């Protein structure tokens, strides 16, 4: 009986309670730690999922903006299997659109023609990988052919190096478009007072708006060249950029070509030389025609050279 009581007292002693409390505390701390780790892990995954979707949506919006911008210039080139966001294609799309994003993000583009040639349908798909699973979002963008831009114009004043600053007429000015379309020419005339778009005035002697007064040059880049007899051909040192509803002013001077006087004996029969003045260059003059040489030549006829031309009939 005494031994049992001692055992009971030992089990309910202060030291025994301390051990139980420690064990219970360890269990509680373990449970709390596990729950905390699970909560943090779940929050981290949720945050990553949210971040991935935000990146995908932002990439989708950026792709839409880039595609719409490209359609303003490259509408006809936008075709399926030709345009994408990966290679340096001729459609004006940004091949570096995913720069700065995780490597598993990509953008696919599928373009189809609608019933009208003026409308195209583009399917944009953004792909990414998340915890080993593939995800994607997509959207459809309809692209309409952009309206033709308002034409521009080129005006200016052409002078000659020998005209004392005065305008030079009869100069043929040629604009060659960089897109390969046909050249456009105009010819300078005596100068006149021109009113600029801003209301100011200037003297010019060529204007591509012609007699209609309407701008006719498609916006873009051109190479300007000029020709006139007696002057060296002129090529503008830089491309001429024509902007929509704007006038580009190009003034330039053409250099006169002075022809040296002919030099007898240089082996070339030049203007001003003849068989009489320079037989060395032009060769000997042909012998004068002689009546009686058996050939009816030049001004010989039956009346003045019967021997060569025969007897006139009817006499």
140 inside domain: yes
Q: Tens of pLDDT along 101-159? A: 877 888 888 888 888 888 999 999 999 888 888 999 999 999 998 888 889 999 999 99
Please indicate, yes or no, whether residues 164 and 189 belong to a single structural domain of this protein: yes
86 inside domain: yes
30 inside domain: no
The total of structural domains in the chain comes to: 2
Say what the pLDDT of residue 296 is.
81
Please indicate, yes or no, whether residues 121 and 211 belong to a single structural domain of this protein: no
238 inside domain: yes
Please indicate, yes or no, whether residues 162 and 250 belong to a single structural domain of this protein: yes
11 inside domain: no
102 inside domain: yes
Residues 6+ apart with CB under 8 A from 126: 56, 59, 60, 63, 105, 106, 107, 136, 137, 138
Q: Tens of pLDDT along 151-198? A: 999 999 999 998 888 899 999 999 999 988 899 999 999 999 999 888
Residues 248-271 have a mean pLDDT of 84
48 inside domain: no
Domain boundary among 147, 168, 191: 147
Compute φ and ψ for 156, nearest 5 degrees. 170, -170
Please indicate, yes or no, whether residues 172 and 138 belong to a single structural domain of this protein: no
Say what the pLDDT of residue 21 is.
65
55 inside domain: no
Q: Which CATH number covers residue 241? A: 2.60.40.1120
Please indicate, yes or no, whether residues 158 and 249 belong to a single structural domain of this protein: yes
Domain residues for the domain of 86 are 60-147
| CA–CA dist 137, 103 (Å, integer) | 17
Domain boundary among 147, 174, 191: 147
pTM value > 0.75: no
Q: Are 52 and 130 in contact (CB under 8 A)?
A: yes
Higher-confidence position of 229 and 13 = 229
């Amino acid at each position: 009986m005494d031994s049992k009581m001692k055992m009971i007292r030992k089990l309910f002693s202060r030291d025994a309670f301390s051990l139980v409390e420690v064990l219970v505390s360890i269990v509680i701390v373990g449970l709390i730690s596990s729950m905390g780790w699970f909560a943090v892990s779940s929050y981290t995954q949720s945050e990553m999922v949210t971040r991935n979707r935000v990146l995908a949506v932002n990439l989708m919006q950026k792709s839409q903006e880039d595609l719409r911008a490209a359609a303003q210039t490259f509408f006809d080139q936008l075709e399926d299997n030709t345009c994408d966001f990966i290679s340096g294609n001729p459609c004006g799309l940004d091949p570096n659109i995913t720069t700065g994003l995780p490597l598993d993000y990509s953008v696919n583009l599928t373009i189809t023609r609608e019933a009208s040639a003026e409308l195209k349908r583009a399917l944009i798909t953004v792909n990414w990988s998340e915890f080993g699973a593939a995800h994607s979002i997509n959207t459809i963008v309809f692209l309409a052919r952009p309206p033709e831009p308002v034409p521009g114009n080129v005006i200016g004043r052409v002078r000659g190096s020998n005209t004392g600053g005065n305008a030079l007429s009869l100069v043929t000015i040629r604009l060659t478009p960089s897109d390969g379309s046909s050249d456009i020419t105009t010819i300078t005339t005596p100068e006149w007072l021109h009113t600029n778009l801003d209301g100011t005035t200037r003297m010019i002697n060529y204007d591509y708006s012609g007699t209609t007064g309407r701008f006719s040059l498609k916006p873009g880049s051109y190479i300007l060249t000029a020709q006139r007899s007696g002057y060296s051909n002129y090529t503008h040192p830089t491309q001429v950029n024509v902007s929509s509803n704007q006038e580009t002013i190009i003034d330039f001077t053409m250099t006169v070509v002075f022809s040296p006087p002919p030099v007898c004996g240089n082996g070339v029969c030049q203007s001003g030389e003849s068989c009489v003045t320079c037989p060395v260059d032009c060769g000997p003059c042909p012998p004068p025609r002689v009546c009686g040489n058996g050939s009816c030549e030049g001004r010989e006829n039956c009346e003045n050279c019967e021997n060569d031309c025969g007897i006139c009939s009817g006499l």
